[in-house]
Structure 1
Amino acid sequence: MTAIKIPTSFNIDLEFEAADLGQRFLAWLIDQVVRGVYIGIFGLLIGSMSRIFQEPAIAVLFIIVILLPVIAYPLLFEMFMEGQTPGKMAMSIKVVGMVGNVPTTSQHLVRWFFRIIEQPVFFWAIVPVLSILRSPLNQRLGDVVAGTIVISTKPRGSIEETIFRDLSAVNYQPKFPEILRLSDRDMNKIKELLDRALTGDHQLAARVANRVKEVLKISTDLPDTAFLETVLNDYNYYTTVER
């Protein structure tokens, strides 16, 4: 997969993995199956009404109940499921903005509009396929114009490699409530840098600790590595134990 580095306001690069062509195709295929099942079920229901309603009414029902929802399927799901359709959810991928944010309504609309010329039917499949293969971030044309990317949501390591720490068995007292201004991604990056610093890179620990103190306006006499460990423990406390 293609690695994507995105700078945050915390001044630490976050790393994502761009979804590849295979993942995106399988997600699309699953969504087509979902659409097909929907069309089959409601097509039968509307067909059974043909004895009750006249043809113009059946045509209107077909447009409202089947055609419009099927056309708007990716737009509605991605808007209300934070960048995912059922297919994308099954493949553990999602649409995000270029800074890792949830796409705006206008970005969703642009991506959806460009599906008109990117529908993978017959020779039109060459448009999204070539765009994804040639893009350094695996973007289709709609992604490029909308300023979005499709990333993998799969965790990149085991739980021991994440920021999670079990504090439920201890009477832990947090020290820095300011850390709630940071995100999980920020904390994962701090954990990654701390692990690297603990191998002997004391200068790295100092740089990270100073940056955290500067951003959160924290004053403490704790040693750099102890401070970063406390930050991680506090974040776990406020986001797990206290809830």
Structure 2
Amino acid sequence: MNSLAVALAGVLVMFSGMLLGHHLRYLARANALAPTGEKGMPALSKASPGFPGAMALFVVLMSLGIYQSTGRFGDWDQGRLDDSIDYLVAAEITKGRQAVEQAPASEIALLNLAHSYMEGGMYRDAVATLDQLLTLTGEDPELMGLKATAMYYRDDRQLAPDTGIVVARTLALFPQEMHTRMLLANDAYFKGDYAKAIEHWQILLGNTRQAINERAINNAIFKAQSKAGAVSSR
């Protein structure tokens, strides 16, 4: 039995024990008061304490059985992500697929579908959709940066060689491309290379072709500088 089952069983046993203890105290009080002729007390002197104990055990076993049959013990205990997609995102993906089926050459439909795939964590499908879109648009730096981001998350946050090729080509076309610089900055930051992350964010601040959140980028730079200072002072 895994740790979640043990924790659940413990809570149920404690709760059932409290109920059983309360029942036994109530039973003892009823037996003590019965000879005095006090009115209002139920005739519990002959009740068996084994009955509430059996009921408590039944509740514990039934709860564990139901949860084990319907829950996700393995996923919780092993720290795996839930692969299910929020139903609203799933609906958007379905809608996007239908739009692409009706208009396979629609750049807007393909882009919307790619965004929906990425929002749902379906990065492999997002890459395929962006490839389809790039065959229509040609080398578009923004789309290529979006593709590199999808490839990065598809590969579990790894800059694989094929992703590196897309990144290099994108930056050759547009050095300040937002998706690409954000990808490189975040990757460097999470690897502890704060100086490199700051460099990418500072380059991104020179982007005048895409809508960027300068305040968020400056905050990220400040945070990276603080972490870099803390590391160097050790």
Fold shared per TM-score above 0.5: no
Q: Which has the larger radius of gyration?
A: 2
Q: What is the TM-score when the length of structure 2 is the normalising length?
A: 0.32
Greater helix share, 1 or 2? 2
Give the number of the structure with larger relative contact order, counting CA–CA contacts within 8 Å between residues 6 or more apart: 1
Q: What is the TM-score when the length of structure 1 is the normalising length?
A: 0.31
